[in-house]
Amino acid sequence: MSVVKVDYISKKKPEKALLAKQGKLAGRSHGKISVRHQGGGNKQRYRIVDFLQDKLGVPGRVAAIEKDPNRKAFIALVNYADGEKRYILATEGMRAGQEVLSAENAPVKPGNRAKLKNIPIGTTICNLELFPGRGGQIIRSAGSSASLTAVDEKTAQIKLPSGEIRLVSNECYATIGQASNFESNSINLGKAGKSRWLNIRPAVRGSAMNPVDHPHGGGEGRQGIGLKHPKTPWGKPALGKKTRKKKKYSNKFIIKRRVKRK
């Protein structure tokens, strides 16, 4: 088992006013399993994270860096100058006591949020809006970051973590810096019980099942999927089948598709 221990994570209880109830995510619809391998897990409360960060021009001071059970990246509790408190997505290197600012032309400093047209080319960004006013929608997971490669009159080109180059309106806001907790992908859960705490139930390989249970099942001894095309338990193509719609609205925004991983 391996864990990431960081000394700057606050041990205080989460801000009560920024918590919301969260029902059980057991992968069931009307009591029947609709999504396999989900169920159980520790009781959690949702932290209301401000992805929009619309307190423009109001400076805030980071009161604490906290863990959020609902995401891999850390979150920061910010006390604004007008007395309001909000959770925001923490960037790498953010610490308690640091000042953050969300403004159209905020200083280029990790943790600040500004419009793409006012951010220098080559800057590392995260928590990016896809459409102005919708709040951060992509590049939010732990350790993820994108690069601003070009800015035109109306659009900006973003190189995403997947290698995809995408057009976004230059009026969109982005947070400067890399999302926090980049070490999260090196964590080893170490035991089955820890998966159960995280709402993950056991999974069984299709090739270990009987033919009645899975298209990969059956055969004498250990059998691979052989000449069969990989299938889901319901007979649909899997592993490499393209599922993106050919006429998807966002095709016109993609300059270069993501890099295929072998």
pLDDT tens column, 100-138? 999 999 999 999 999 999 999 999 999 999 999 999 999
Q: Report which of residues 194 and 224 the model is more confident about.
A: 194
Q: Let me know: does 126 contact 146? Beta carbons within 8 Å.
A: yes
- List, in sequence order, the alpha helices (H) in the chain: 192-197
Q: How many helices (H) and strands (E) does the chain have?
A: 1, 15
Residue in the structure block whose two tokens are 């009645």: 212
Encoded tokens for 61: 């001071």
Decide if domain 16-183 falls under CATH 3.40.50.10300.
Answer: no
% the chain with pLDDT above 70: 98
Q: Is the pLDDT of residue 261 over 90?
A: no
| pLDDT surpassing 90 at residue 229 | no
Give 234-250 as a DSSP string. TS-B-SS---S-TT-GG
Sheet holding 99-100, edge to edge: 85-89, 75-80, 60-66, 99-100
Instruction: Say what the pLDDT of residue 177 is.
Output: 94
- For residues 55 and 3, the model is more confident at 55
Buried/exposed 51-65: b ≥16 CB within 10 Å, e otherwise: bbbebeeebbebbbb
* 161 CB-side CA count, 13 A: 15
Q: What is the pLDDT of residue 241?
A: 86
Residue 148 confidence (pLDDT): 94
Whole-number Å distance between alpha carbons of 136 and 116: 13
If one compares 223 and 55, the residue with the highest pLDDT of the two is 55
Cα dihedral across residues 45, 49, 55, 58: positive or negative: positive
Give long-range contacts, CB 8 A cutoff, 24+ apart: 195-200. 196/40, 196/41, 197/40, 197/41, 197/42, 198/41, 198/42, 199/25, 199/38, 199/39, 199/40, 199/41, 200/37, 200/38, 200/41
What pLDDT, on a 0 to 100 scale, did the predictor assign at position 173? 95
The domain limits of the chain are 16-183
pLDDT (average), residues 197-207:
93
The SS3 assignment for 186 reads: helix
Q: pLDDT per residue over 64-110, tens digit each?
A: 999 999 999 999 999 999 999 999 999 999 999 999 999 999 999 99
What the block records as the tokens of 138 is 């992509």
**Quick one: pLDDT at residue 108?**
92
Alpha carbon of residue 171 to chain centroid? 22
Q: Which tens digits make up the pLDDT trace of 49-63?
A: 999 999 999 999 999
| Percent of the chain's residues with pLDDT above 90 | 74
Alpha-carbon distances of 4 from 8, 69, 186, 188, 199, rounded to whole Å: 12, 14, 9, 10, 20
The pLDDT score that the predictor gives to residue 228 is: 66
| Mean of pLDDT values over 21-44 | 89
262 pLDDT above the threshold of 70? no
pLDDT of residue 239: 85
Return the pLDDT at 2. 85
Mean of pLDDT values over 191-209: 93
Q: How many whole angstroms separate alpha carbon 85 and alpha carbon 50? A: 10
What mean pLDDT is predicted for residues 136-149? 94
Pairing assessment for the beta strands 28-29 and 124-126 based on DSSP bridges: unpaired
Distance CA 236, CA 148 (A): 38
